Amino acid sequence: MKIPVLDRQFVQEHLDMRACIDVMEHTLRQESGGVCGQSLRTAVPLPNGNIFGLMPAWLQDCFGVKALSIYHGNGELGLPSHQGQILLFSLEHGEPIAAVDADTVTQIRTAAVSAAASKALANPDAKSLAVLGCGAQGLSHVKALLAQFPLENITLWDRTRMKAECLAAMQPADVSVRVCETVREAVADADIICTVTAAQDPILEREWVKPGAHINAVGACSPKARELSGPLVAASSFYGDNLESVLHESGDYLIPLGEGLIAKSHLRGTIGQVLNRTVAGRQRRDEITVFESLGMAVEDIAAAKYLYDVWCGKLRKSGGKI
Ligand code: NDP
pLDDT tens digits for range 88-134: 999 999 999 999 999 999 999 999 999 999 999 999 999 999 999 99
| DSSP 8-state class, residue 285 | T
Specify the residue with its C-alpha closest to ligand 1, atom 8. Answer: 135
Q: What is the pLDDT of residue 72?
A: 84
Lowest-confidence range among 41-45, 202-206, 285-289?
41-45
| Span 68-74, average pLDDT | 91
pLDDT tens digits for range 124-156: 999 999 999 999 999 999 999 999 999 999 999
277: CA distance to ligand 1 center in Å?
32
pLDDT at position 180, please? Answer: 98
Cβ(142) – ligand 1 distance below 6 Å: no
CA-angle at 240, arms to 309 and 180, nearest 5°: 95
Structure confidence by residue, pLDDT tens digits, 22-32: 999 999 999 99
Give the residue, out of 197, 216, 242, with the most ligand 1 atoms within 8 A of its beta carbon, to mutate for a pocket test: 197
Q: Work out the pLDDT band at 82, boundaries 50, 70, 90.
A: confident
Asked whether residue 322 carries a pLDDT value surpassing 90, the answer given is no
How many angstroms does the Cα of residue 247 sit away from the middle of ligand 1? 22
Cα(142)–Cα(163) distance, integer angstroms: 14
Residue 11 CB contacts under 8 Å (≥ 6 apart), including other chains: 100, 101, 104, 105, 108, 307
Distance separating alpha carbons of residues 206 and 262, to the nearest angstrom: 14
Return d(Cα 120, Cα 113) in angstroms, integer.
11
DSSP symbols for 139-177: HHHHHHHHHHS---EEEEE-SSHHHHHHHHHTS-TTSEE
Pairing of strands 176-179, 153-157: parallel
Arithmetic mean of pLDDT, 51-61:
96
Please say whether the beta carbons of 150 and 127 come within 8 A: yes
C-beta of residue 144 within 8 angstroms of C-beta of residue 109: no
* pLDDT bucket at 1, cuts 50 / 70 / 90: confident
pLDDT tens-digit series, residues 213-262: 999 999 999 999 999 999 999 999 999 999 999 999 999 999 999 999 99
Name, in order, each residue with C-beta under 8 angstroms of 144's C-beta and a sequence gap of 6 or more: 17, 21, 111, 112, 114, 115
CB distance 219 to ligand 1 below 6 Å: yes
Pure H helices in the chain: 8-14, 17-32, 102-121, 136-148, 161-169, 183-187, 230-234, 243-249, 251-258, 271-275, 297-317
pLDDT of 320 strictly over 90: no
Question: Half-sphere exposure of 214 toward its Cβ, with a 13 Å CA cutoff?
Answer: 27
- For residue 14, pLDDT over 90 is answered with yes
CA of 293 to the centre of ligand 1 (A): 13
**What does the pLDDT read at residue 75?**
84
Alpha carbons 86 and 161: distance in angstroms, whole number: 33
Residues 180-195 have pLDDT tens digits of 999 999 999 999 999 9
Cβ(66) – ligand 1 distance below 6 Å: no
DSSP character for 224?
Answer: T
Ligand 1 neighbourhood includes 134 CB (under 6 angstroms): yes
What Å distances lie between residue 14 and 144, 303, 313, CA to CA? 15, 11, 12
CB 198 near ligand 1, within 6 Å: yes
- Helices and strands, number each (H, E), in the chain: 11, 15
State the distance from the centre of ligand 1 to the C-alpha of 93, rounded, in angstroms: 39
Query: What pLDDT, on a 0 to 100 scale, did the predictor assign at position 173?
Result: 84
Closest-CA residue to 289 (of 211, 214, 189): 214
Q: Which atom of ligand 1 is nearest to the CA of 293?
A: 41
Query: Which atom of ligand 1 is closest in space to residue 296's alpha carbon?
Result: 40
Mean of all residue pLDDT scores within the chain: 96
Instruction: Using DSSP bridges, classify how beta strands 51-58 and 62-70 pair: parallel, antiparallel or unpaired.
Output: antiparallel
Q: Is 81 in the pocket of ligand 1 (CB under 6 A)?
A: yes
Task: Name the phi and psi angles at 227, rounded to 5.
Answer: -110, -20
pLDDT confidence tier of residue 321, bands split at 50, 70 and 90: confident
* Distance, CA of 266 to CA of 239 (rounded, Å): 9
Calpha distance 158→144 (Å, rounded): 19
Query: Taking residues 53-70, what's their average pLDDT?
Result: 96
Q: What is the pLDDT of residue 246?
A: 97
Distance 315 CA to ligand 1 centre (A): 37
